[in-house]
């Protein structure tokens, strides 16, 4: 019998498992039909939702991981200790989230843990929409502004970039320009020097915030679907 993830995994290993399953799902999306090149964010997130289900099944078959529960798509932020029912963050909806009860947590504040994932399109400006700017302002900033408060008690969170056009390195430069110039934030750095064409490229940076757990490491997975 395969061990259940909640009985085997520490919180850190659970986070790693989620990261692996997201990367596996994105790798499959990179091989998908050309519809992904023109799809909007809602369509892409539905494609990712289905790819995640396939990845859970694949990992289970390979005896790699068994997830007892899946993800929640576009669900409201769940309340953390100290939240009030009127708090604005409780009405905000990350694209995907995973939850685990950490029975080894010494602090009740960290009994219920979450992996939060926000997704955004990346590519050339289209109809006045500057996707690199939106990636920052409607994506990254949601993890460091109290109004959205994504992953507020966590030291790690995830973002996905759907690269639909242009050049990956050019888009990273644009995103970093908005981070640095407009917001004074740490730039994103590639985990490996080479861009993974028609695959998934990992990046990360560390951000400071005035609430919750700080700093937070934001890991970025960009899938090349050009």
What is the distance between the alpha carbons of residues 171 and 46, in angstroms, rounded to a whole number? 24
Handedness of CA 58, 60, 66, 70 (dihedral sign): positive
- If one counts every other C-beta atom within 10 angstroms of the C-beta of residue 172, the result is 23
Question: What average pLDDT score do residues 167-180 get?
Answer: 97
Q: What confidence score (pLDDT) does residue 172 get? A: 97
Statement: residue 7 has pLDDT above 80? no
Mean pLDDT of the chain: 92
What is the distance between the alpha carbons of residues 185 and 9, in angstroms, rounded to a whole number? 33
Statement: residue 121 has pLDDT above 90? yes
Statement: residue 187 has pLDDT above 90? yes
Question: Can you tell me whether residue 190 is helix, strand or coil?
Answer: strand
Q: Using one digit for the tens of pLDDT, what is the confidence trace for 16-67?
A: 999 999 999 999 999 887 777 889 999 999 999 999 999 999 999 888 877 8
Q: Using one digit for the tens of pLDDT, what is the confidence trace for 197-211?
A: 999 999 999 999 999
What is the distance between the alpha carbons of residues 151 and 116, in angstroms, rounded to a whole number? 6
What is the distance between the alpha carbons of residues 61 and 63, in angstroms, rounded to a whole number? 5
């Amino acid at each position: 019998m395969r061990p259940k993830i909640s009985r085997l995994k520490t919180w850190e290993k659970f986070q790693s498992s989620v990261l692996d399953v997201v990367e596996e799902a994105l790798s499959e999306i990179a091989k998908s039909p050309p519809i992904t090149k023109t799809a909007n964010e809602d369509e892409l997130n539905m494609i990712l939702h289905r790819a995640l289900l396939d990845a859970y099944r694949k990992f289970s078959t390979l005896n790699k991981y068994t997830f007892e529960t899946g993800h929640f798509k576009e669900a409201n932020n769940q309340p953390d200790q100290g939240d009030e029912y009127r708090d604005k963050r409780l009405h905000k909806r990350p694209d995907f989230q995973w939850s685990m009860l950490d029975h080894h947590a010494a602090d009740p504040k960290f009994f219920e843990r979450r992996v939060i994932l926000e997704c955004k399109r990346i590519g050339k400006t289209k109809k006045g929409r500057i996707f690199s700017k939106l990636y920052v302002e409607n994506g990254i900033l949601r993890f460091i502004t109290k109004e959205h408060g994504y992953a507020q008690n966590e030291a790690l969170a995830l973002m996905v970039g759907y690269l639909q056009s242009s050049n990956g390195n050019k888009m990273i430069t644009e995103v970093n320009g908005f981070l640095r110039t407009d917001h004074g934030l740490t730039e994103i750095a590639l985990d490996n020097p080479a861009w993974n064409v028609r695959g998934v490229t990992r990046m990360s940076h560390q951000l400071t915030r005035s609430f919750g757990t700080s700093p937070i490491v934001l890991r970025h997975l960009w899938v090349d679907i050009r």
